[in-house]
């Protein structure tokens, strides 16, 4: 019995000792956790970035987890940090070693400066890092490669960040988004980027990167968007036979690439831009397998041969730019089936024609459907759907116009068999029959140009007035995209008046045709005037300055004097028209948008290639900046006499413009005209003497 009692006594003693040790361990762990939480709070306080939220000592039991931009776990550990205000301070003030549980660091547009500290690599649990749109400098630390949990890395728009892209980024195998655009990075793309098997978006545009585009990028099978434009890449684009089946966007424009256009699996590709390089050879017929292609930019290269007929398989194609190459032959007949094609540029080639074949809707023509195209049942359903939507929108527009015009006594209306023709402020005599008579039912002889969604005709009316008509073709009228542009332009122009905006006299919705009626501009577009020797000489310096001022006044009116503000979204030399006095007028409001302050103002990207700001070309947010950048390009074009593509691309290399003289940029036609004028004045003066 004594032995049993001894055993029980020792057992109870052992249990009590274990409980005491467990209690001490728990207290120690709790104490350690409290110290770490206090360390996080102190690290945040030392930055001074949340100073207005820190209460006086003892005044509140509020923790740092309730501060704006700070997120904590249930255990009270900081897991997310973002800035809600413009800090304008050094990034290094934030002690990264104090946040071992941090998962999200979002410091977008906080005014941060200084370099990215090497200690940032200690954030082992970080999966989201955004430092974009700051004033950071120095190089990208190799310690970024330690952030193996990272899924989103954005250090874009920090122009003072220089140096190479660290090869250690290849360790970030969980990364889905990598954005290093709009910096001053140099060197080549490390081949280790090709090991990022989960990468979906890769943005390296607007840097000073050199070397070749590594073929390892072709193994990024999940990649959807790859934009490498505005760099100094050379050599061939070695993506032949790449397995990029999910790729939707590929932009390698504005580089110095040579060789041929790569051939790869592109069934999902929607946007392909290889413009402004030195690519040679033929346009591969395999591009016809890119059935989803919406925009194709191949201009300003050294491409030869004919336009492959296989491009006619790309039914979704809206924009096709092949200008400034050495293409020969004619436009394939099956291009008439590209009913969505809105913009087609073919100038500066050796083609026998510059317009696609016209499809006659009254003839029983059927577009050839190859085995690679969509099945006929889907095509029929697609066409019927769009025609139905177009007719429905036309009926709605008809009802809207009828209700509106009943309230306007000053407007003349001609209603006949469900058709409507409304014209205002033009002698009250303009009617549909007069339009048809003056253009001989829109005979081709009266056509003076082709716009984004219709042809433009000159019409001399019985009262002696001359007007311009933009006519929406019958096939285009059945497409909701064109129909919406037509109605949008009529709506915008009918509610604004400015001396430098083309005046709209009226519009017509008719079961046979739809057209807009404009003030006639005798000298045509600014684009053509600058490229015509005779007109370019007429455009002396004072006239060019007045054109720039007129555009500026028109945009100022649209942005500041209209409520809500209007963004044109397609300011280009093609959309600036000149009257007989060579005064400039803004035209073509089909892509315009009203800015609603209560909405996000997101829409599809619009504009003419070469006039869209690079930083806005891949966002859907519409702002006045869209027009401001385009205005700057047009102003340079007016001064130089041609599109300033080379000058704009040189701005990405700071030293490249240091030795450029103003005299080298001014239009040669203008310079020679000025010199001739000076000689004439000197001769006249000597004759009088």
Known active-site residue 570: yes
Contacts of 677 (CB under 8 A, 6+ apart): none
In order, the DSSP letters of 13-65 are HHHHHHHHHHHHHHHHHHHHHHHHHHHHHHHHHHHTTTGGG-PPTTT----GG
Return the H-helix or E-strand segment holding 671.
helix 668-688
Across the strands, what pairs with 233? none
The Cα–Cα gap between 545 and 526 comes to 13
Instruction: Say whether 470 counts as a known binding-site residue.
Output: yes
125 phi/psi in degrees, rounded to 5: -95, 0
Contacts of 645 (CB under 8 A, 6+ apart): 254, 276, 300, 610
In order, the DSSP letters of 556-580 are HIIIIISSS-EE-S---GGGEEE-T
Task: Name which of 408, 559, 591 is nearest 491 in CA terms.
Answer: 591
Contacts of 461 (CB under 8 A, 6+ apart): 429, 430, 434, 435, 438, 467
Q: Which of 154, 179, 483, 570 is catalytic?
A: 570
Residues 575/587, Cβ–Cβ less than 8 Å: yes
Task: Name which of 129, 136, 83, 78 is nearest 110 in CA terms.
Answer: 83
In order, the DSSP letters of 606-657 are -S-TTSS-TTTTT--B--THHHHHHHHHHHHHHHHSS--HHHHHHTTSGGGG
The Cα–Cα gap between 458 and 455 comes to 10
Contacts of 24 (CB under 8 A, 6+ apart): none
The Cα–Cα gap between 486 and 472 comes to 8
The Cα–Cα gap between 105 and 566 comes to 36
Give the residue numbers annotated as catalytic, written as ranges: 570
Residue numbers in the known binding site are 470
Residue numbers in the known binding site for ATP are 470
């Amino acid at each position: 019995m004594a032995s049993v009692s001894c055993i029980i006594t020792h057992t109870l003693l052992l249990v009590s000792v274990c409980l005491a040790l467990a209690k001490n361990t728990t207290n120690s762990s709790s104490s350690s956790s409290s110290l770490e939480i206090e360390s996080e709070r102190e690290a945040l306080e030392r930055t001074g970035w949340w100073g207005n939220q820190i209460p006086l000592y003892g005044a509140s039991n509020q923790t740092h987890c309730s501060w704006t931009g700070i997120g904590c776990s249930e255990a009270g550990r900081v897991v997310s940090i973002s800035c809600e205000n413009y800090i304008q301070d050094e990034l290094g003030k934030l002690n990264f070693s104090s946040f071992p549980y941090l998962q999200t660091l979002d410091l977008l547009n906080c005014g941060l400066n200084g370099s990215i500290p090497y200690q940032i690599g200690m954030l082992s649990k970080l999966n989201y890092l955004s430092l974009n749109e700051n004033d950071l400098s120095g190089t990208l630390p190799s310690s970024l490669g330690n952030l193996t949990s990272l899924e989103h890395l954005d250090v874009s728009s920090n122009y003072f960040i220089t140096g190479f892209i660290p090869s250690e980024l290849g360790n970030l195998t969980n990364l889905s988004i990598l954005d290093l655009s709009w910096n001053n990075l140099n060197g080549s793309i490390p081949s280790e980027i090709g090991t990022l098997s989960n990468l979906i978006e890769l943005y390296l545009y607007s840097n000073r990167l050199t070397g070749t585009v590594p073929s390892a990028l072709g193994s990024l099978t999940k990649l959807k968007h790859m934009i490498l434009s505005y760099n100094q890449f050379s050599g061939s684009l070695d993506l032949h036979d790449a397995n990029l089946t999910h790729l939707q966007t590929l932009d390698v424009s504005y580089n110095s690439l040579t060789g041929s256009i790569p051939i790869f699996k592109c069934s999902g590709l929607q946007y392909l831009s290889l413009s402004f390089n030195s690519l040679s050879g033929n346009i591969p017929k395999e591009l016809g397998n890119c059935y989803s292609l919406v925009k194709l930019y191949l201009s300003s290269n050294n491409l030869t041969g004919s336009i492959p007929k296989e491009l006619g398989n790309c039914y979704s194609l809206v924009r096709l730019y092949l200008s400034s190459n050495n293409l020969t032959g004619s436009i394939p007949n099956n291009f008439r089936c590209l009913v969505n094609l809105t913009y087609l540029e073919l100038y500066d080639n050796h083609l026998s024609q510059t317009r696609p074949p016209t499809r006659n809707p009254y003839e029983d023509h059927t577009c050839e459907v190859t085995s690679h195209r969509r099945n006929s049942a889907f095509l029929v359903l697609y066409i019927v759907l769009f025609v139905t939507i177009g007719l429905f929108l036309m009926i709605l527009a008809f009802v809207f116009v009828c209700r509106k015009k009943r309230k306007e006594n000053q407007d003349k209306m001609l209603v006949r068999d469900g058709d409507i023709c409304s014209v205002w402020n033009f002698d009250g005599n303009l009617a549909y029959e007069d339009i048809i008579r003056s253009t001989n039912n829109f005979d081709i002889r009266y056509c003076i140009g082709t716009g984004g969604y219709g042809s433009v005709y000159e019409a001399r009316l019985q009262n002696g007035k001359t007007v311009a008509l933009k006519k929406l073709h019958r096939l285009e009228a059945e497409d909701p995209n064109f129909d919406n542009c037509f109605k949008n332009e009529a709506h915008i122009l009918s509610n604004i008046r400015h001396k430098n905006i083309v005046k709209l006299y009226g519009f017509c919705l008719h079961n046979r045709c739809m057209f807009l009626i404009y003030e006639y501009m005798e000298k045509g577009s600014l684009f053509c005037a600058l490229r015509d020797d005779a007109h370019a000489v007429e455009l002396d310096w004072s006239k060019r300055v007045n054109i720039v001022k007129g555009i500026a006044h028109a945009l100022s009116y649209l942005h500041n004097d209209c409520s809500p503000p209007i963004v044109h979204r397609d300011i280009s030399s093609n959309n600036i028209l000149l009257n007989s006095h060579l005064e400039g007028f803004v035209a073509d409001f089909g892509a315009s948008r009203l800015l609603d302050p209560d909405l996000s103002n997101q829409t599809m990207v619009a504009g003419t290639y070469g006039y869209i700001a690079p930083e806005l070309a891949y966002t859907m947010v519409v702002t006045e900046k869209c027009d401001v950048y385009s205005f700057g390009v047009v102003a340079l074009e007016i001064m130089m006499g041609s599109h300033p593509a080379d000058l704009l691309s040189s701005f990405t290399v700071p030293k490249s413009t240091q030795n450029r003289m103003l005299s080298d940029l001014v239009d040669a036609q203008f310079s020679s005209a000025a010199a001739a004028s000076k000689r004439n004045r000197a001769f006249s003066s000597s004759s009088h003497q």
